[in-house]
Amino acid sequence: MRSFNFFGRFASAFHDYPSLSKIIFVSTVSGGSLIAYAEASTNNGNRGHVSHADAITSNSIAHADANTSKKKKVVVLGTGWAGISFLKNLKNPTYEVEVVSPRNFFVFTPLLPSVTCGKVEARSIVEPIRNIIRKRNIDVSYCEAECIRIDPANKKIYCRTARTAINTNSKQGEEFAVGYDYLIIAVGAQVNTFNTPGVEGNCHFLKEIEDAQKIRRNVIESFEKASLPNLSEEERKKILHFVVVGGGPTGVEFSGELRDFVNQDVLKLYPMVQHLVKITVIEATDHILNMFDKRITTFAEGKFLRDDIDVKLGSMVTKISENEISTRAKGSDKTTSTPYGMVLWSTGIGSRPLTREFMKQIGQGNRRALATDEWLRVEGCDNIYALGDCATINQRKVVEDIAEIFKRADKDNSGTLTVKEFREIMKDVIARYPQVKLYMQSRRVRDFVDILTEAKGNAAKEKIELSIEEFKSALSVVDSKMKNLPATAQVANQQGAYLAKCFNRMEECEKNPEGPPRFRGTGRHRFQPFRYRHLGQFAPLGGEKTAAQLPGDWVSIGHSSQWLWYSIYASKQVSWRTRALVVSDWIRRFIFGRDASGI
């Protein structure tokens, strides 16, 4: 079978040498350009084809005591955006990396809402972690377990094999310890129920791939249940009342997906109950998508009105029972109860047990997430980093250091700063405190001196001299621009890449620090602090319409943004496999509609 051999060889070449896949793939689908490009990867090594002997050796090394090995051991907890981004960007071969996570795959979370109604298949948006790491030319191993305790004093973590096995006899629940030189906590977050009674047990969440699969089965199940012969109209209506709690991007996207599913597929498959479907979005604040531009909020609310999606604004969920959801309008004491069939709870995030436990241990007990400094180091710990949804950067305020900054700036010890002295010090201040830049952007100035001039009644720039009090008052306002980064994939991704770059140059920067000067103390910081670059955000609204808020206040709404959304999400896929699968899922849905099998 020569033909078979040819095809087999071709396929295995593609399979074995992923560098072959660095082909620019431009597919122009009927004018709407669907562009999927390979991200240029600087790593050409292939670590997959090690011999048995090699594999066993590297495995034994990986599990040997870190102290006896020359390589520094980095333990990464989590295989989400932050962890994977770190792994994909780490290039320094002097580390030995061990990834510990109960989930042996990465999930492309922005497409989770698409899975809930079958626009995309669950398996199309996951990539095995072993597939990702075997393409790296660094020493990295993976261990499917959950970290249950961190012992920073002894530089050890304790793990437990996590997943419930299907066969009853395989090892589980056993604990083992892993030592580390550096620990990277990227375990993500879990859903926050705000202690609302009845949420656990009656609601769906949408954080993991299993959640999306469950929702999909439940949606189909609802239509099947509502089509049974032994029901009253009231009962059918109850079963087909879908409630979404939380008008953020996830809740809004799910509502849109569900509306599309009802309009496009339910119409054909369950025509007798289609008119009974009701979708309600409950939002506690005054608007849905309130983190977006006003124009987007208005458009989304208008579109949902036209789509017959009921949006209840200023409404708090007080309780969810087995059959009813109770809400209270803002500023009112009256509680209303409505029968429902299914609830998706997508309101906000809370910390995982491991994170909570560790925060207590290191005296951060009353915080929402692990506090780190601007270099993503967990405050109060050595060699422990935290990033992604489980962490927040505790941005240092300028006012805290203001006396030291002034002293450093006042080179001639005159007690006042000239404009020249001020300008010089501001370079370092901007590098050290990101909020200064944000403040300048919000005031739309390129030179901080312009703000001073304005404050001084438009005095001539060069004549200004600042006393320490004036300096303080000028800079104290900038701290108002400090804010926590949103818990998004984008932030986690950038943090992972940032941290990997720090690790890549760790030794180099130890000798030649490249960060801003230390205002308290001497010398410079090793690295520049982490800076988040917001690249925009999408909010798909259903009906092939998406709202996009792009950098520079550019707002785009409608079909064109939908195509932009397709292009960007195809290009951002973590592998060529998932890229091909996601694109083919979209095409499949266009041609054949969504599958309604209850699996």
The span of 198-206, 296-304, 402-410, 446-454 binding a second copy (CB under 8 A) equals 198-206
149 near a second copy, judged by CB under 8 A: no
137 is a contact residue toward a second copy (CB under 8 A): no
3-state SS, 294-306, equals: HHHHHHHHHHHHH
566 touches a second copy (CB under 8 A): no
Site string for a second copy, 432-451 (x = CB under 8 A): --------------------
CA 482, CA 466: separation in Å to the nearest integer? Answer: 24
**Residues 307-366 within binding reach of a second copy (CB under 8 A):** 322-323, 340-343
Q: How far is the CB of 293 from a second copy (least distance, A)?
A: 22
Residue 17 interacts with a second copy (CB under 8 A): yes or no: no
Nearest to 86 by CA among 513, 488, 306, 385: 385
* Residues 474-533 within binding reach of a second copy (CB under 8 A): none
Sites for a second copy among residues 400-439 (CB under 8 A): none
Instruction: Name every residue whose Cβ is closer than 8 Å to that of residue 408 and which is 6 or more positions away in sequence.
Output: 425, 428, 517, 519
SS (H, E, C) 225-260: HHCCCCCCHHHHHHHCEEEEECCCHHHHHHHHHHHH
Closest approach, Cβ 239 to a second copy, in A, equals 6
Exactly one of 81, 142, 498, 530 binds a second copy (CB under 8 A); which one? Answer: 142
Question: Whose Cβ is closer to a second copy: residue 123's or residue 456's?
Answer: 123
Tell me the backbone φ, ψ of residue 238, rounded to 5 degrees: -60, -50
List the interface residues with a second copy, window 31-50 (CB under 8 A). 31-32, 48-50
Given the rule CB under 8 A, which of 65-73, 263-271, 373-381, 548-556 is the region that contacts a second copy? 263-271
Q: Of residues 150, 220, 500, 583, which one binds a second copy by CB under 8 A?
A: 220
Does residue 2 belong to the site contacting a second copy (CB under 8 A)?
A: yes
Q: Taking the complex as a whole, how short is the minimal distance between the CB of residue 287 and a second copy, in angstroms?
A: 27
Q: Output the CA angle 222-547-308, nearest 5 degrees.
A: 40
Task: Work out whether 576 is an interface residue with a second copy (CB under 8 A).
Answer: yes
Asked whether position 166 contacts a second copy by CB under 8 A, the answer is: yes
Here the tokens at position 56 are 């066993």
Structure tokens at 8: 């087999």
Question: Radius of gyration (Cα) for the chain, nearest Å?
Answer: 27
Stretch that binds a second copy, among 26-34, 365-373, 392-400, 508-516 (CB under 8 A): 26-34
Q: Phi first, then psi: what are they for 477, rounded to 5°?
A: -65, -25
Q: Is 588 in the site for a second copy (CB under 8 A)?
A: yes
**What is the nearest approach in angstroms of a second copy to the Cβ of residue 564?**
12
Quick check: helix, strand or coil at residue 482? coil
Strand bridging mode 416-418 / 537-542: unpaired
Q: Among candidates 67, 62, 71, which has minimal Cα distance to 98?
A: 62
Whole-angstrom distance, CA of residue 427 vs CA of residue 515: 12
Measured from the Cβ of residue 179, the count of other Cβ atoms closer than 10 Å reads: 19
Name beta bridge partners: 146: 160
* Nearest CB to a second copy, comparing residues 261 and 422: 261
The footprint of a second copy on residues 46-85 (CB under 8 A) is 48-50, 52, 55-56, 58-59, 62-63
Pull the structure tokens for residue 190.
């879990």
312 touches 326 (CB < 8 A): no
In order of 16, 39, 363, 370, the CA distances from 394 in angstroms are: 44, 32, 15, 9
Beta pairing, strands 72-77 & 182-185? parallel
Interacting residues with a second copy between 169 and 188 (CB under 8 A): 169-172, 174, 176, 178
| SS3 call for 325 | strand
Torsion sign (Cα): 411, 416, 420, 424: positive
Nearer to a second copy, 38 or 228 (CB): 228
466 binds a second copy (CB under 8 A): no
Q: Which residue from 503, 527, 512 is spatially nearest to 71, judged by alpha carbons?
A: 503
Q: Which of 173, 201, 331, 521 binds a second copy (CB under 8 A)?
A: 201
**Which residue stretch of 207-215, 277-285, 355-363, 516-524 sits at the interface with a second copy (rule: CB under 8 A)?**
207-215
Closest distance to a second copy from the beta carbon of 202 (Å): 6
Q: Which of 38, 41, 44, 228 binds a second copy (CB under 8 A)?
A: 228
Q: Applying CB under 8 A, which of residues 225, 295, 397, 518 lies at the interface with a second copy?
A: 225
Minimum separation from the CB atom of position 299 to a second copy (A): 16
Of positions 491, 557, 574, 596, contacts a second copy by CB under 8 A: 596
